Amino acid sequence: MLILPIVGGSLIMLFVDVCRLCDEIEAISSRSSMISLVSNFIKNLEVNDLELAVRFIIGELFPPWEPEIGLGASGVIGCVIKVFSSSKSEFFKVFKSTGDLGLASMRIAEKIGCIPLLTASEGDLTIKDVYEGFKSIARASGEGSRRKKIRLFHGLLLRARRPVEVKYLVKLALGERRHGFSEGLMEEAIADAFNLPYELVRRAHMLTSDLGLTARIAKLKGVEGLRRQRIVLFHPVKPMLAEKANDLLSALRELGGRASFEIKVDGARVQVHKLNDKVKIFSRRATDVTTSLPEVVEVVKRVAAESAVFEGEVIALTSNGKPAPFQLLMRRFRRQRSVSELVSKIPLKLYFFDILYLNGETLIDKPYIERRKILRSVVSEDVIIETLITSKYEEAQTFYEKALKDGHEGLIAKDLESPYTPGVRGKKWLKIKPVFNTLDLVVIAAEYGHGYRASMLSDLYLAAYNPENNEFEVVGKCFTGLTDEELIWITKRLKEVAIKEEGRVVYVEPKIVVEVAFDEVQKSPHYKSGLALRFPRIIRIRDDKSPLEVDTIQTLSKIFEEQRGRRKEAT
């Protein structure tokens, strides 16, 4: 039952009610029951509280392009230990039994019943209090900012009246989403709460990349508001994604015998927003990377459009103008300070391949071929990805071979009549690359190496996502593929997201995605997943991908079954 005190004539949403709801969700396995529970919870909320509650329920504090709070697991754990007069050994003993930092924090708080916190004078935490508290943490910057962030989070914990609030303050601080309520389920809950078509809710979410804002529009403006929703400048649109094609010929047939073939460069996908001289560049994960790419910003400023949203790829170049390795490009994307030092060392090139918005008009519903014409009318050919439109397999094959010879990854085949469908991975766009086995996996632990690598976290435990239990499950351990420079970087990054150390092993938050090549998938009794990769080696670190984009256990199972089928055919 909601606890909604009346303050100044308005009902106030308490944080504890969101926490209790999330606990209820965690205990439910039925998809429809979860949707109904959340729908009933959000339908009568005041609109500002609605926006925050929707984000909190899916484990988000802010829209994805806003800065992260930057506390890290070690900072959060340290605050919990200090506030509840615990110790590291006691905390990790509890964590070992729960496997969940939020739940472990709640158990620690339960031991003293939050008694020291009852002297706080501010009263019960509202969801606005929590939002404002985390916003202050995110904004802390400059010298001494980490100490300030920790002090602010410490103050937020002190205001928690109940152990369950501690649990979800910790989860929000770490960006954990382990109660199983995904963005897709929230789209359905919003549609149900306000009696609206699901397709319209999903479309608005894909256009705004903000479920909180989507819920606000749904409540205030209904069907017409959702239907009229357009791209919002400087709010990144969810990217349209491509399926893998078996080969070039099957891609051409799938797309009706005539298609556009675009060079697939070995770069980082970006979405570029422009309003006069103001430019923002967002990564595939909707992170604002504008400050890291000053020369790209200058290219966009010269585009002859008052306002526009483009899709493109940024690549790094060698001294002879050829595509440089992806990891060099990632050095540029990671650099936030002293960017100018790298501009001359690692030059970048921007290639546009689509336009989604121009001078106030949203273009995503126009067919690809028309968007392509509009793009060519706005930017010069030298900054558009090289493209061949053909119905002839031989022409496409020659184009493909040239792309590979020039150091590119392959081709993207596109349906000439397809609209741009944000957030959808479908068969209107098809990836064509040389055949070899790779998976995107997330690092969940790492072990110190030996010899000259003794100070580096060089042995990585790799996990795939299992949507059935909402967990990342280990499928292998890998210690090959990364350069020494990359190992130094990944060691530093892993330590920033470390949860605990046990001997030589460091357990980390699932934040870092890597692309992994392997020989085959095997059955394994050593891992919970029951599967393991044979001879895994890391191809590259995928800073541009979210942990939620990694391959699933079901994908590995499918590969295993396909391997078994091929062996049977061979015998």
pLDDT digits (tens, 9 = 90+) for 148-170: 999 999 999 999 989 999 999 99
What average pLDDT is seen over the chain?
89
- Specify the range with the lowest mean pLDDT, choosing from 5-9, 194-198, 392-396, 500-504: 5-9
**pLDDT surpasses 90 at 136:** yes
- Token pair recorded at residue 428: 């209107």
Q: How far is CA 41 from CA 61, 62, 127, 172, 452, in A?
A: 18, 20, 14, 19, 56
Per-residue pLDDT, averaged over 245-271, amounts to 94
| Domain 438-570 of CATH type 2.30.30.140 | no
pLDDT of residue 546: 87
- Residues with catalytic function: 264
Higher pLDDT, 2 or 316: 316
Q: Up-side HSE of residue 123: CA atoms within 13 Å toward CB?
A: 9
- Token pair recorded at residue 345: 């060392």
pLDDT of residue 96: 80
Q: How far apart are CA 64 and CA 76, in angstroms?
A: 21
Query: Pick from 265, 212, 202: which is nearest to 238 by CA?
Result: 202
Q: How confident is the model at residue 566 (pLDDT cuts 50, 70, 90)?
A: low
pLDDT of residue 302: 92
- The fraction of the chain above a pLDDT of 70, given in percent, is 94
Higher pLDDT, 290 or 320: 290
What's phi and psi for 411, nearest 5 deg? -130, 160
Per-residue pLDDT, averaged over 82-92, amounts to 89
Q: How confident is the model at residue 439 (pLDDT cuts 50, 70, 90)?
A: very high
DSSP assigned state of 551: P
- pLDDT tens digits, residue range 350-382? 999 999 999 999 999 999 999 999 999 999 999
Q: Which one is the CATH code of 243-432: 2.40.50.140, 3.30.300.30, 3.40.50.720, 3.30.470.30?
A: 3.30.470.30
Q: Up-side HSE of residue 490: CA atoms within 13 Å toward CB?
A: 34
Q: Which helix (H) or strand (E) holds 540?
A: strand 537-541
Q: How confident is the model at residue 399 (pLDDT cuts 50, 70, 90)?
A: very high
pLDDT of residue 7: 45
**pLDDT surpasses 80 at 8:** no
Q: Are 58 and 128 in contact (CB under 8 A)?
A: no
Q: How far is CA 481 from CA 262, 403, 511, 539, in A?
A: 29, 25, 19, 6
**pLDDT surpasses 70 at 121:** no
Task: Identify which of 136-140, 354-358, 561-565 has the greatest average pLDDT.
Answer: 354-358
- The fraction of the chain above a pLDDT of 90, given in percent, is 60
Q: What is the largest CA-CA distance in the chain?
A: 78
pLDDT of residue 231: 94
- Specify the range with the lowest mean pLDDT, choosing from 124-128, 198-202, 225-229, 543-547: 543-547
**pLDDT surpasses 60 at 474:** yes
Give CATH 1.10.3260.10 domain extents, the chain: 6-174
Q: How confident is the model at residue 2 (pLDDT cuts 50, 70, 90)?
A: very low
- Specify the range with the lowest mean pLDDT, choosing from 116-120, 414-418, 421-425: 116-120
Q: How confident is the model at residue 260 (pLDDT cuts 50, 70, 90)?
A: very high
DSSP assigned state of 384: B
Q: Are 236 and 64 in contact (CB under 8 A)?
A: yes
CATH of domain 6-174: 1.10.3260.10
Q: How confident is the model at residue 567 (pLDDT cuts 50, 70, 90)?
A: low
Higher pLDDT, 349 or 68: 349
Instruction: Please list the alpha-helical segments (H only) found in 159-302.
Output: 163-174, 183-193, 198-208, 211-228, 248-254, 294-301
Per-residue pLDDT, averaged over 556-571, amounts to 75
- Token pair recorded at residue 239: 């990217």
Q: Are 240 and 214 in contact (CB under 8 A)?
A: no
**pLDDT surpasses 70 at 178:** no
Task: Report CA torsion sign: 225, 228, 230, 232.
Answer: negative
pLDDT of residue 6: 47
pLDDT of residue 387: 97
What's phi and psi for 337, nearest 5 deg? -120, 155
Q: How far is CA 426 from CA 372, 429, 556, in A?
A: 19, 7, 20
Exposure class string for 403-434: b at 16+ Cβ within 10 A, else e: beeeebbbbbbbbbebbbbbbeeeebbbbbbe
- pLDDT tens digits, residue range 476-532? 998 888 888 888 889 988 998 888 888 889 999 999 999 999 988 988 888 898 999
pLDDT of residue 354: 98
Per-residue pLDDT, averaged over 250-269, amounts to 94
The 3-state secondary structure of 268-328 reads EEEEEEEECCEEEEEECCCCECHHHCHHHHHHHHCCCCCEEEEEEEEEEECCCCCECCHHH
Task: Identify which of 65-74, 254-263, 527-536 has the greatest average pLDDT.
Answer: 254-263
Q: How confident is the model at residue 10 (pLDDT cuts 50, 70, 90)?
A: very low
Query: Pick from 457, 466, 459: which is nearest to 498 by CA?
Result: 457
CA 486 to chain centroid, in Å, comes to 21
Give CATH 2.40.50.140 domain extents, the chain: 438-570
DSSP assigned state of 129: H
pLDDT of residue 485: 82
pLDDT of residue 1: 42
Give CATH 3.30.470.30 domain extents, the chain: 243-432
